[in-house]
Amino acid sequence: MGIYLVYLYMKNFDSRTYSVNDFLEWFDNKQLELNPKFQRRSVWTDIARSYLMDTIVRGKPIPKVFIRQKLNIQTRQSVREVVDGQQRLKTILSFLKDGFKINKKHHPLYGGLYFSQLNTVDDGIQTNILNYEISTDLLVNMPDSEVLDIFSRLNSYSVTLNEQEKINANHFGPFKTLADRIAHTFNQFWIENKILKEPEILRMGDVTLVADLLIAMIEGIKSKKQIKNFYDQYEKDFDYDVEILETNFANTLIAIGDIFNGELKTSELRRIHLFYSLFTTIYHCKYGIPNLNTHRPSDDITYAKIASRLDSINSLFESDHYILLPEEVRFLEDSRRATTDTNVRVRRTDYMLNLIVS
């Protein structure tokens, strides 16, 4: 007769959803502890707090929180310790008590108002915020050692963040939200024209590209290595009209789509370093880029003519150097190296512009 061993386990957490109002009631009744000993002591900036509340008022999800629930024998009340999500909950509770306002650059309607003032512009928004549900893992009577083990296991499965993911995790200003919004709006454009693949988009390659192009629109063509520096700069001060930037970006992509008429996906210019130069070329034709001195074409040039002149680039990649002009050889070398330095980017864009205006 065989011996069968039965392994039993007791699930010691529950996945639930609680409303913002639940957390507010617990806090007011001193049943919510926001500073347990294993919490990190990081403090969010005002712009980060505003971004979280903008996420909530727009009805979008936020990361789940972890709470350890214990019974206080003396008071016969349950006490909830925030194991993970301290800054999120502190931010929400502070906003409910008029501790800060949402930034107008995050939300034009609710920006500049305290929670108590929101009903002056929207009768239902306060109720919506209080009813907003937060996904929560409830750890019931779990000892510290088990709590630490849980987070050790969770971190074991974490994917190391790439540079753009790190940037997005630490920036919350209008430039970040603009780059995110444009990148997501044109998701199909990136995919259909084979500029980016879906796995690259999942790791925020689209946001990197859009941020890089927005910087060129504002500052002039820059090295890709400078993206983080501009995110840092724009987090503190970004006084540009986001609607104009978004409109001009969209119009440039629309123009590129019209110029290539569905054939960009088979062109060498779909390659991301060359697409950067294609975008800056067409943007300069329409609006001008600060650090480019190349003449812009006359307004009466047709998209068909631009397409015809840019089409010669494809043939360069099939040619031998001895039949190419020096400037063609230079462009080909700059293109094959996929360099993202400022000088090389400027040269590639100048070459395309000269093709168009010649």
Q: Is residue 296 assigned to a domain?
A: yes
* Number of domains comprising the chain: 2
- Residue 354 tokens, joined: 């000269």
Q: Is residue 58 assigned to a domain?
A: yes
* 220 in the same domain as 108: no
Using a pLDDT cut of 70, give the percent of the chain over it: 94
What order of strands is seen across the sheet that includes strand 77-84? 13-19, 133-140, 65-72, 77-84, 32-33
253-276: average pLDDT: 96
pLDDT of the residue at 25: 97
First to last CA, the chain: 91
* 130 in the same domain as 24: yes
Q: Is residue 317 assigned to a domain?
A: yes
Q: Is the pLDDT of residue 204 over 80?
A: yes
Give the residue numbers spanning the domain of 267: 163-357
* 307 in the same domain as 171: yes
- Choice among 31-45, 207-221, 242-256 with the minimum mean pLDDT: 31-45
In sign, the C-alpha dihedral spanning 348, 353, 356, 358 is negative
Picking from 262, 261, 281, 170, the residue whose alpha carbon sits closest to that of residue 217 is: 281
* 122 in the same domain as 198: no
- Residue 308 tokens, joined: 């015809």
* 137 in the same domain as 174: no
Tens-digit pLDDT profile for residues 92-127: 999 999 999 999 999 999 999 999 999 999 999 999
Regarding predicted confidence, which is higher, 202 or 43? 202
Using a pLDDT cut of 90, give the percent of the chain over it: 72
Sequential DSSP letters for 99-165: -----TTT-TTTTT--GGGGGGT-TTHHHHHHH-EEEEEEEES--HHHHHHHHHHHHHTPPPP-HHH
- Choice among 204-208, 221-225, 275-279, 299-303 with the minimum mean pLDDT: 299-303
Alpha-carbon gap, residue 38 to 17, rounded angstroms: 23
Q: Where are the beta strands (DSSP E) in the chain?
A: 13-19, 32-33, 65-72, 77-84, 133-140
Q: Is the pLDDT of residue 352 over 70?
A: yes
Mean pLDDT of the chain: 90
pLDDT band at 285 (very low <50, low <70, confident <90, very high): very high
- Choice among 8-17, 128-137, 197-206 with the minimum mean pLDDT: 8-17
Alpha-carbon gap, residue 36 to 29, rounded angstroms: 17
* 175 in the same domain as 136: no
- Choice among 66-75, 260-269, 270-279, 330-339 with the minimum mean pLDDT: 66-75
Tell me if 104 sits within 8 A of 32, measured CB to CB: no
* 313 in the same domain as 206: yes
Q: Is the pLDDT of residue 333 over 70?
A: yes
pLDDT of the residue at 202: 92
Last residue of one domain, picked from the residues 152, 186, 204: 152
pLDDT of the residue at 40: 61
Q: Is residue 126 assigned to a domain?
A: yes
Last residue of one domain, picked from the residues 120, 152, 184: 152
Instruction: Name the range with the highest mean pLDDT among 147-156, 232-241, 287-296.
Output: 232-241
* 204 in the same domain as 178: yes
* 144 in the same domain as 168: no
Tens-digit pLDDT profile for residues 226-257: 999 999 999 989 999 999 999 999 999 999 99
Regarding predicted confidence, which is higher, 249 or 13? 249
Last residue of one domain, picked from the residues 126, 152, 178: 152
pLDDT of the residue at 291: 83
* 311 in the same domain as 287: yes
